[in-house]
Amino acid sequence: MALNGIPKAIMQVKPYVPGKTIEEVQRELGLEEVIKLGSNENPYGPFDCSIKAMQEELVNLNLYPDASFVEIKQLIGDYIGVPRDYVAVSHGAEGMLETLVRCFVEVGDQVIIPSVTYGLYSEISRVMGAEIKYVPLKSHTIDLSLISGAVNSKTKLIWLCNPNNPTGTIFTDDDFKQFMQSLPDRVWVVVDEAYAEFVETPEYANSVQAVLEGKQVVVVRTFSKAFGLAGARLGYALAAPEMISIIDKVSEPFNANRIGLAGAKAILSDRRDFERFRKQIISDRSDVAAKLKEMGLEVITSNANFIFFQTPWDGRLLAQNFLRLGIIVRPTADWGLPNGIRVTVGRPEENEKFIKALRKTIETMEKEV
Ligand SMILES: Cc1ncc(COP(=O)(O)O)c(C=O)c1O
């Protein structure tokens, strides 16, 4: 069928390729047990208090949620340390990213995107008819001075991901401060901090402080990762109240669901499990990274709940081998890193199986060379 009338910008968008689901792999390969380490979900979630609250909320699903989202905004504000009028909610961080591109970008505007980062920024910018300028990373890290140098009179929006997906690296507060000072007034910066809770480094950029200082920054966060609620789809933005009013105006009216809100309110009100498993994931991240290094692989220090590493072999081939063993990981070839793999930090027994499978695969590959 000829799709007449669809804008060229939309026809040119490359679809976002999500990691494979457990169900897909079970169906395609006839496997019973499948371990998913491909989409950076939290293996310990949803936490008990969220499950209880979400179950209790089921009976209210005939009703729309409270469209002012006062309660959740207050709880998020308390958690982050900002007043609640600095908070807007969305269907996952993805929903917020989509709203933000509509807030800022018009046809012909330039947006700047690091060349290796979360794929959605390109897709949604292209749909808006933006001209995209890609800026390379340096040592697998977003290079803010290079980005600053790429700004021109058409630049409207800069997408930053901190920690960066898929590399897990961060930029520092000193670099971020300098970068913000270098930008002309009309340029907005979105800092996607989907993995912020897994950062332990004190030098991590304090983007919320930049918001409080009135800089042209919007911070995006999510309940999908450290809070264990990826399926409940709740994300949020932190920005100046004037900007929040615009975000709320552009968003659809009921852009969060009762189940997600109930789960998030519960875990924000009692953060003990969140904290316990956050620490567990951070500690297991070190263990997995150490084992990968022992195997002689190039491991990039991660600040997220995943690890990016490079091998001498084709990452897609490795990922295919893992699939046959019932383990889903994410090859990084689509990001222009053909030898790389991004693996989510799972439960200790899942990590163990992954490491064992990797050792076996490497042995086979070495024999074949
Ligand atoms: C950097 C980044 N931003 C946003 C998202 C989307 O998160 P959400 O599930 O909240 O839509 C992801 C998901 O993997 C991500 O890696």
The CATH number of whichever domain residue 356 belongs to comes to 3.90.1150.10
Helix (H, G, I), strand (E, B) or coil at 181: helix
Instruction: Give the Å distance between the CA of 354 and the centre of ligand 1.
Output: 23
Q: What whole-number distance in Å separates Cα of residue 241 and Cα of residue 46?
A: 31
Structural domain tally of the chain?
A: 2
Is 295 within the bounds of a domain? yes
Please write the tens of the pLDDT for every residue from 219-269.
999 999 999 999 999 999 999 999 999 999 999 999 999 999 999 999 999
Query: Is residue 30 left, alpha or beta, with left meaning phi > 0 and alpha meaning psi from -120 to 50?
Result: left
Instruction: Give the Å distance between the CA of 90 and the centre of ligand 1.
Output: 12
The answer to whether residue 131 scores a pLDDT higher than 90 is yes
**Same domain, residue pair 117 and 260:** yes
The answer to whether residue 12 scores a pLDDT higher than 90 is no
| Averaged pLDDT score across all residues of the chain | 95
Instruction: Give the Å distance between the CA of 185 and the centre of ligand 1.
Output: 28
Q: Contact, 345 vs 299, CB < 8 A? A: no
Instruction: Give the Å distance between the CA of 107 and the centre of ligand 1.
Output: 25
DSSP H or E stretch at residue 221? strand 217-222
Is 262 within the bounds of a domain? yes
Query: In the predicted model, what is the mean pLDDT of residues 150-173?
Result: 98
User: What is the CA 238 to chain-centroid distance, rounded?
Assistant: 16
Closest CA to 196 of 242, 231, 245, 236: 236
- Rg (C-alpha) for the chain, rounded Å, is 21
CATH number at residue 93: 3.40.640.10
Please write the tens of the pLDDT for every residue from 168-193.
999 999 999 999 999 999 999 999 99
Pocket test for ligand 1, best of 21, 224, 261, 308 (most atoms within 8 A of CB): 224
Pocket test for ligand 1, best of 17, 40, 192 (most atoms within 8 A of CB): 192
**Same domain, residue pair 76 and 222:** yes
**Same domain, residue pair 128 and 165:** yes
The answer to whether residue 367 scores a pLDDT higher than 80 is no
Q: How far is CA 175 from CA 29, 179, 207, 216, in A?
A: 47, 6, 11, 16
Query: Residue 206 class from Cβ within 10 Å (0-12 exposed, 13-18 middle, 19+ buried)?
Result: middle
**pLDDT for res 206:** 98
**Same domain, residue pair 236 and 304:** no
- Which amino acid is residue 10, in one-letter code? I
**Same domain, residue pair 113 and 143:** yes
Enumerate residues lining ligand 1, CB below 6 A.
Answer: 40, 92-94, 118, 161, 165, 192, 194, 222, 224, 230, 235
Looking only at the bridges linking them, the beta strands covering 188-192 and 131-135 are unpaired
Query: In the predicted model, what is the mean pLDDT of residues 140-152?
Result: 98
Domain that holds residue 315: 18-40+273-368
Instruction: Give the Å distance between the CA of 198 and the centre of ligand 1.
Output: 14
Last residue of some domain: 212, 246, 269?
Answer: 269
Say what the pTM is: 0.95
Peptide bond into 83 cis (omega under 30): no
User: What is the CA 354 to chain-centroid distance, rounded?
Assistant: 22
The answer to whether residue 45 scores a pLDDT higher than 90 is yes
Q: Whose CA is nearest to atom 12 of ligand 1?
A: 194
Banded model confidence at residue 18, pLDDT cuts 50, 70, 90? low
Is 2 within the bounds of a domain? no
Instruction: Give the Å distance between the CA of 119 and the centre of ligand 1.
Output: 10
**Same domain, residue pair 233 and 85:** yes
DSSP H helical ranges for the chain: 8-11, 22-29, 48-57, 70-80, 92-104, 120-127, 144-150, 173-182, 207-212, 241-250, 258-269, 272-294, 315-324, 348-368
The answer to whether residue 4 scores a pLDDT higher than 80 is no
Report the share of the chain in percent with pLDDT over 90.
88
DSSP H or E stretch at residue 344? strand 340-344
**Same domain, residue pair 238 and 215:** yes
Residues 6+ apart with CB under 8 A from 207: 162, 176, 191, 193, 217, 219
Q: Contact, 158 vs 149, CB < 8 A? A: no
**What tokens appear for 68 in the block?**
């002012």
**What tokens appear for 117 in the block?**
């980062």
**Same domain, residue pair 259 and 160:** yes
